Structure 1
Amino acid sequence: MLNGITVHPDCRHFRGDIPCRPNKEHGYQCAGCPVYAPIQQRILIIKLGAIGDVIRTTPLLRRLRQEYPNSKITWLTLTPAILPQGQIDEVLKLDLPSVLHLQQREFDLLFNLDKDKEACAMLDSIRATQKFGYQLHPRHGVAWPVGELANHKYLTGVFDELSQQNQKPYVQEIFELCGYEFRGEEYVFDTHEDQGYDWSQLPTSHPRIGLNTGCGDRWTTRLWSDEKWITLIGQLQQAGYAPVLLGGAAEDERNQRLHAATGAAYLGTFPLPQFINLMHQMDGIVTQVTMAMHISIALRKPTILMNNIFNPYEFDLYGRGQIVQPNKQCVCFYRGTCKLGGPGCMEELPAEKVFEAVRASVAIS
């Protein structure tokens, strides 16, 4: 009671600094509130970035909501805009105010899924009954597993040989690190369909195949040449598909060239929410291992994944699409250059192989 007025700071709706939504929309106060929802567990997830890794951690939300339906889930990240509304009660961006705020709270469960030193330091400095994931080694200041559950994922991240031998998808590893069995839980993701974007310039008479032509600038051995893209586009068009070029500012020049050479649709570059919704308009996606791959899987699109430098077991396409790889073994595991020199093994991936994967994954009605 505050000045004789009942206040429930343990309610999922309670904000503390501004009126809660039930109060704002219906005039409810805590005393006798019909939607009072007392929190039974307080859960904190620390997953900072990159964007793709944040996206592919969201299946964990489904299990947590199943196990703890009356919990309050807080997520600390560097990319709050990518996280979906509804399943997460509180999204915080990693900055000084959030750090100071979290260090004064108590949680029942704390999951740190990043080896970044700042993420590990956060796990160490926040009070929680149970902690999972990674902490700082108290003497050496490096990331270190919290208990045996984190050992497998930790070791595959620090030794290339173990990473290459691993046969567990990333999502399964994350679930096991948190003490759960992975049961095929899908991503939790926002399509941004409610924004009403105008896609009237997209082709409408054939299945749309999105072609994400870039891969970022960290491991450029993933890139495919213009010649290969042009060949694939021609094969898709001849078979009755409608190729749509996708990418950001780094891919704009390439996509303009491919558009001019083939007539494949290219609408330009867009802010991330609009780009996500553009991908949602596709019937299938061809992409390298990059952010667009994670978005495609999250959108439940048949995904044709062109992989050359990562362990293919790492990726779970949920039975939609195929992983296609070069016809010769690559010697560029997590590398920006091929150890054998030359243009890299991605050029040994024939356009015909990618085309056949598209045809097997996306039917032409």
Structure 2
Amino acid sequence: MKKEAVKYDCNHFEGHSPCKPNKQFDVQCDDCSHYDKNTSSIIFLDTKKALLQEIFKICNFTQQDVLDNGTERSLIKQGQTTRILFIKLGAIGDVIRTTPLLEKYKKEYGNCHFTWITHSPQVVPKDEVDVIYKWDESSVSILANQEFDIAVNLDKDKEACMLLAHVDARDKFGFLWKDGHINTATDKAEHKLLTGIFDHISKKNTLNYLEEIFEICHFEFNQEEYTLNLNKNLSDKWSEKLAKLAKGKTIIGLNTGCGERWKTRLWPKEYWVELIKDLEKQGYFCLLMGGPAEDEMNRYYQLKTRATYLGTFSLEEFIAITNNTEIIVTPVSMMMHIALALKKQMMLFHNIFNVHEFELYGRGIIIEPTSGCDCYFGNSCGREKRCMNDISVQDVLSNIAILNRNLKK
């Protein structure tokens, strides 16, 4: 299927995710009886002013005149510097896993000036990116008056697409607003557009996420690594604390939850308890980890075992603590991306996504239910016995043993 066959004017069309008929019946636009035409969903924005006004409307920003800001312009060096804008709003993990592009652009263009706008500025590597903006009306207004050599948008949200359409850039890559709907800046983004709209196409994808976004930018992925902000002083502080607690044992971080979304990824509580007890017998120092959503659950595991639970922390401190673990066990989550950025040995629980999506750089093992999974990108399971129950404690222990041997290589 080609992008031209997509019914962008259908009431069911979501843009950033598959529509309900596709989720339920595996249909696609060129052969779908659920097509419900809605011409008002096509929004032609033929001027920069119209694009900016629509962004402000979508985001409930205060309408204001967009003024040229000479101070902000002066931050971009002129001359031989290649000025590059990244629009990657997304979740924290999505922002982190976009950072390998920084290394690639520097390899290809040498002296680069990077600007990044996002909902999660705290994880954009400040030593690598020159100007970091949090998505708000002021930042959007500033970027609307800047010029770039290259602009990249990897999000399919309307406002992100409209911003890429608006900004002045010699070359644009990814997704933008064109012909009244989400569109591709170049044909290289068509594959990623279609896999995001149709589950049955996404299931057939064999590229990992990094191969996909590098392709969008007309590159080939060559194992470029993640980059992450790490507070070295904070990490050193936790190194001393954890060394005293672990007393020479191998520190294994157990990230027991997966956030509020897609709880079908959770491994059974009784399995975690059994795993922790077995790891303790084998001489590991078990460190329970997670955010506020996992606090109650981790306190339960601490009560049922001898595992250590230190509580919840700011993201900066969470990263510093993770840096002092040696092995991470986690479902697909923000922790997965943090562990990859910190080059940790990792065992990854996987069920509801396309397994080809994940690039672990040879430092991880993916474990899946032996019975497969029926709820692709789903938050409910129709089985009497959830697929995650099919991942045995013994198989997890065997994988951890492999990771532990890797530490000694």
TM-score (norm 1): 0.87
Distance in 2 separating the partners of 1:116 and 1:319: 32
Distance in 1 separating the partners of 2:147 and 2:335: 36
- Give the partner amino acid of 2:400: V
Q: 1:221: which partner in 2? A: 264
Cα drift, residue 203 of structure 1: 1.1
Distance in 1 separating the partners of 2:362 and 2:378: 28
Secondary structure of residue in 1 paired with 2:241? coil
Distance in 2 separating the partners of 1:262 and 1:71: 51
Distance in 2 separating the partners of 1:159 and 1:126: 29
**Correspondence for 1:156 among 181, 195, 199:** 195
Runs of at least 4 residues of structure 1 off by over 6 A? none
Instruction: Please state if 1:184 is matched with 2:223.
Output: yes
Q: Does the CA contact (< 8 Å) of 1:206 and 1:242 recur in 2?
A: yes
Secondary structure of residue in 1 paired with 2:155? coil
- Give the partner amino acid of 1:197: K
Q: 1:172: which partner in 2? A: 211
Q: Does the CA contact (< 8 Å) of 2:126 and 2:132 recur in 1?
A: no
- Give the partner amino acid of 1:362: N
- Give the partner amino acid of 1:344: R
**Correspondence for 2:292 among 245, 249, 267:** 249
Q: 1:131: which partner in 2? A: 172
- Give the partner amino acid of 1:304: M
Q: Does the CA contact (< 8 Å) of 1:203 and 1:265 recur in 2?
A: no
Cα drift, residue 38 of structure 1: 4.2
Distance in 2 separating the partners of 1:310 and 1:280: 27
Distance in 1 separating the partners of 2:251 and 2:398: 16
Cα gap change, 1:164/1:191 in structure 2, threshold over 3 Å: closer, same or farther? same
Cα drift, residue 100 of structure 1: 1.2
For 1:121-150, what per-residue CA distance to the aligned partner results, in whole angstroms no more than 9, with x for missing partners? 0011111111100012422x3x22222110
Cα drift, residue 39 of structure 1: 4.6
277-286 or 234-243: bigger deviation: 234-243
**Correspondence for 1:326 among 351, 369, 384:** 369
Q: Does the CA contact (< 8 Å) of 1:321 and 1:358 recur in 2?
A: no
Q: 2:110: which partner in 1? A: 69
For 1:69-92, what per-residue CA distance to the aligned partner results, in whole angstroms no more than 9, with x for missing partners? 222110111111111122111111
- Give the partner amino acid of 2:295: D
Q: 1:99: which partner in 2? A: 140
Cα drift, residue 191 of structure 1: 2.5
- Give the partner amino acid of 2:163: M
Q: 1:33: which partner in 2? A: none
Instruction: Please state if 1:60 is matched with 2:101.
Output: yes
Alignment of 1:4-83 (within 5 A): 16=71, 38-83=79-124
Q: 1:29: which partner in 2? A: none
Cα drift, residue 197 of structure 1: 3.2
Distance in 2 separating the partners of 1:190 and 1:343: 40
Cα drift, residue 68 of structure 1: 1.8
Cα drift, residue 37 of structure 1: 8.1
Q: Does the CA contact (< 8 Å) of 1:38 and 1:70 recur in 2?
A: no
Instruction: Please state if 1:349 is matched with 2:391.
Output: yes
For 1:259-313, what per-residue CA distance to the aligned partner results, in whole angstroms no more than 9, with x for missing partners? 1111111111100000011111110100001111111111110110000101111
**Correspondence for 2:355 among 312, 316, 339:** 312
Distance in 2 separating the partners of 1:299 and 1:37: 34
Q: 1:275: which partner in 2? A: 318
Secondary structure of residue in 2 paired with 1:200? helix
- Give aligned pairs, total: 333
Distance in 2 separating the partners of 1:247 and 1:318: 23
- Give the partner amino acid of 2:255: N
Q: Does the CA contact (< 8 Å) of 2:120 and 2:134 recur in 1?
A: yes
For 1:178-231, what per-residue CA distance to the aligned partner results, in whole angstroms no more than 9, with x for missing partners? 000100001011222223434515313211110001101110101112100011
**Correspondence for 1:288 among 313, 325, 331:** 331
**Correspondence for 1:197 among 214, 226, 237:** 237
38-47 or 58-67: bigger deviation: 38-47
Q: Which structure 2 residue ranges, 5 or more long, are not aligned? A: 1-69
- Give the partner amino acid of 2:401: R
Higher percent of residues as helix = 2
Distance in 2 separating the partners of 1:343 and 1:250: 24
